[in-house]
């Protein structure tokens, strides 16, 4: 996670009482501590304080399964998936369409045509929602997180949320469901936990919820929970957005692709210089507008390369992509390991999210 | 950055949007203009 943040009411020490002077739930006079941890208590965590115990569940029922289907490909080849042609349908969660997957990641495209029907939580994966088009607010248990075009919205697993768009008909997302944790690359942070000078972004480029969303309501509320392929609908007797304060390193945040400061050289620098996030089994890179390579004999395009241990996926976000006609905004291309790939002749990608 | 032996599998939903001729489809079209300036944006 980028850095420590805090919001709202907190007791002076962890694991002591935070008194609710209005009496609170069952007149116990308390706010209810909830520790959200990762990696078996060893990595990033946050502590939040609720109006009511977050364990109150009155019903739990199956809500079906989402089974991903593999295509039995007959040949090893590059693919150009014209996801810009995807029809608008569903809501920002249930309308997601799976494009590709393995044990570490599922890539979905989403072009919703209706608001999110109910609260949602991914219980088994972090989510990175790349906002290709759209803007609005991600309402979460941590508070309200505004988002805009070009944002990576990073949502840690178990975060309950509702995506509230300014105009649902303009929303267009690439969603990565990440079964390992999404992190800032370790090599970007010094031993004190601060971003090194010279890395492509700094703490100020990361935006966490600035306002709490504290709903004091005993209205029964359902949450759709996804864990891998299983969907469960749980009912709480109160609204789960009842947090009065939280602190820690685990929270949803945004980082905008246009805030990525590309590094350049006299000749072409490889994708590790564009890395934005690290995840288990894959990375996410941002190919942002950059000063072109300035060696007198520089070839101002990426060199042909073979990723002998990985597949490469490009999602085309903005600008004119010069190396391949027919590849447009919203296109996804898959370049499997085992066969080389590269630009046809030139490459002027402005921003391509790549994983 | 990383390595993996876990290949990506395409879904039928992706194949429905796939250009079956790619990458031949772009090899058969006129070449794009290479960048001439000093800034890619």
Interface of A with B in 93-132 (CB under 8 A): 97-104
- Chain B residue numbers with beta carbons less than 8 Å from the beta carbon of A300 are 34-35
Which residue of A97, A275, A301 is in closest CB contact with B13?
A97
DSSP state of A197: T
Interface of A with B in 285-344 (CB under 8 A): 289-292, 294, 300-301, 309-311, 313, 319, 322-327, 332-334, 336-337, 341, 344
Mean pLDDT, rounded, for A45-61: 98
Whole-structure pTM value: 0.93
Distance in angstroms (rounded) separating the CA atoms of residues A50 and A266:
54
Q: Please compute, for residue A317, the number of CA atoms within 13 A of its CA located in the half-sphere on the CB side.
A: 28
Q: Is the pLDDT of residue A345 over 50?
A: no
Backbone angles phi, psi at A342, to 5 degrees: 175, 180
Distance in angstroms (rounded) separating the CA atoms of residues A310 and A341:
12
**Other beta carbons less than 10 A from residue B4's beta carbon:** 18
pLDDT above 90 covers a percentage of chain A that reads 78
Residue pLDDT, tens place only, A213-249: 999 999 999 999 999 999 999 999 999 999 999 999 9
Q: Which residues contact B21 (CB under 8 A, 6 or more apart)?
A: B28
Interface of A with B in 214-273 (CB under 8 A): 271-272
Smallest CA–CA distance from B14 into chain A, residue: A99
Which residue of A80, A99, A272 is in closest CB contact with B13?
A99
* Structural contact between residues A225 and A234, judged by C-beta atoms closer than 8 angstroms: yes
* Structural contact between residues A47 and A248, judged by C-beta atoms closer than 8 angstroms: yes
- Chain B residue numbers with beta carbons less than 8 Å from the beta carbon of A316 are none
Which residue of B2, B4, B26 is in closest CB contact with A344?
B26
Locate A246 and state its tokens. 């939280």
Render A311-350 in DSSP notation, one character per residue: -EEEEEEES---S-TT--TT-EEEE-TTS-B--SS----S
Q: Is the pLDDT of residue B24 over 80?
A: no
Nearest alpha carbon to residue A259 among A208, A176, A202: A202
Backbone angles phi, psi at A309, to 5 degrees: -120, 15
| pLDDT on residue A346 | 36
CB distance B40–A350 less than 8 Å? yes
Which residue of A100, A337, A349 is in closest CB contact with B11?
A100
Residue pLDDT, tens place only, A158-201: 999 999 999 999 999 999 999 999 999 999 999 999 999 999 99
Residue pLDDT, tens place only, A15-34: 999 999 999 999 999 999 99
Residue pLDDT, tens place only, A64-122: 999 999 998 778 899 999 999 999 999 999 999 999 999 999 999 999 999 999 999 99
* Structural contact between residues A4 and A249, judged by C-beta atoms closer than 8 angstroms: yes
Q: For residue A15, is it left (φ>0), alpha (ψ between -120 and 50) or beta?
A: left
Mean pLDDT, rounded, for A310-324: 80
Mean pLDDT, rounded, for A1-7: 88
Q: Is the pLDDT of residue A301 over 80?
A: no
Locate B38 and state its tokens. 């000093």
| pLDDT on residue A134 | 98
Residue pLDDT, tens place only, A119-162: 999 999 999 999 999 999 999 999 999 999 999 999 999 999 99
Task: Show which residues on chain B lie within 8 Å of chain A, measured between beta carbons.
Answer: 1-15, 17-19, 22-23, 25-27, 29-35, 37-41
Find the range with the poorest average confidence among A231-245, A258-272, A294-308, B11-25.
A294-308
Find the range with the poorest average confidence among A56-65, A139-148, A279-288.
A279-288
Q: Is the pLDDT of residue A351 over 50?
A: no
Locate A195 and state its tokens. 């971003």
| pLDDT on residue B40 | 63
- Cα distances (Å, whole numbers) of residue A165 to A30, A38, A139, A256, B25: 34, 29, 10, 17, 37
Q: Is the pLDDT of residue A348 over 60?
A: no
- Chain A residue numbers with beta carbons less than 8 Å from the beta carbon of B29 are 325-326
Mean pLDDT, rounded, for A300-314: 82
Q: What is the spatial order of strands in the sheet that A119-122 belongs to? A: A59-65, A230-236, A221-227, A119-122, A160-165, A136-140, A143-147
- Chain A residue numbers with beta carbons less than 8 Å from the beta carbon of B22 are 77-80, 326, 333
CB distance B6–A103 less than 8 Å? yes
Q: Is the pLDDT of residue A347 over 70?
A: no
Mean pLDDT, rounded, for A250-263: 96
Rounded to the nearest angstrom, the gap between the alpha carbon of residue A215 and the centroid of all alpha carbons in its chain is: 25
**In the predicted model, what is the mean pLDDT of chain A?**
92
CB distance A325–B19 less than 8 Å? no
Q: Confidence class of residue A306 from pLDDT cuts 50, 70 and 90?
A: confident
Q: How many CB pairs under 8 A join A and B?
A: 151
Q: ∠ CA(A87), CA(A168), CA(A138), 5° rounding? A: 120
Q: ∠ CA(A54), CA(A179), CA(A1), 5° rounding? A: 70
Q: Is the pLDDT of residue B2 over 90?
A: no
- Chain A residue numbers with beta carbons less than 8 Å from the beta carbon of B17 are 81-83, 85-86
Q: Is the pLDDT of residue B32 over 80?
A: no
- Chain A residue numbers with beta carbons less than 8 Å from the beta carbon of B41 are 289-290, 319, 350
Greater confidence (A354 vs A209) lies with: A209
| pLDDT on residue A302 | 75
């Amino acid at each position: 996670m980028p850095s420590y943040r805090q919001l709202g009411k907190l007791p002076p020490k962890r694991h002591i009482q935070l008194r609710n002077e209005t009496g609170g739930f069952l007149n116990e006079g308390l706010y209810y501590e909830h520790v959200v941890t990762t990696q078996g208590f060893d990595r990033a965590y946050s502590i939040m304080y609720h109006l009511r115990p977050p364990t109150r569940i009155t019903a739990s029922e199956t809500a079906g399964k989402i089974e991903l289907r593999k295509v039995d490909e007959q040949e090893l080849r590059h693919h150009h998936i014209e996801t810009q042609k995807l029809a608008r349908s569903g809501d920002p969660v249930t309308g997601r369409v799976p494009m590709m997957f393995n044990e570490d990641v599922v890539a979905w495209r989403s072009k919703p045509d209706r608001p999110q029907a109910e609260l949602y939580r991914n219980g088994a994966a972090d989510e990175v929602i790349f906002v290709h088009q759209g803007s609005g607010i991600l309402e979460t248990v941590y508070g309200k997180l505004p988002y805009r075009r070009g944002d990576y919205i990073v949502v840690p697993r178990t975060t309950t949320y509702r995506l509230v768009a300014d105009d649902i008909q303009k929303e267009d997302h690439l969603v990565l469901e990440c079964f390992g944790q999404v992190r800032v690359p370790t090599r970007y942070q010094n031993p004190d936990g601060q971003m090194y000078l010279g890395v492509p972004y700094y703490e100020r480029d990361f935006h966490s919820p600035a306002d709490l969303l504290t709903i004091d309501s005993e209205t029964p509320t359902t949450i759709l929970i996804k864990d891998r392929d299983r969907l469960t609908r749980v009912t709480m007797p109160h609204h789960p957005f009842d947090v009065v304060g939280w602190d820690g390193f685990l929270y949803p945040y945004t980082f905008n692709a246009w805030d990525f400061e590309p590094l350049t050289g006299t000749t072409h620098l490889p994708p590790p210089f564009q890395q934005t996030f690290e995840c288990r089994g894959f990375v996410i890179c941002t190919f942002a507008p950059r000063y072109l390579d300035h060696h007198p004999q520089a070839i101002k395009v990426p060199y042909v390369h073979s990723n002998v241990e990985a597949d490469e996926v490009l999602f085309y976000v903005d600008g004119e992509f010069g190396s391949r006609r027919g590849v447009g905004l919203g296109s996804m291309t898959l370049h499997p390991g085992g066969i080389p790939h590269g630009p046809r002749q030139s490459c002027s990608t402005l921003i391509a999210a790549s994983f | 950055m990383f390595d993996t032996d876990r290949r990506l599998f395409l879904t039928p939903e992706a194949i429905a949007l796939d250009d079956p001729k790619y990458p031949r489809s772009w090899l058969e079209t006129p070449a794009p203009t290479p960048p001439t300036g000093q800034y890619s944006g």
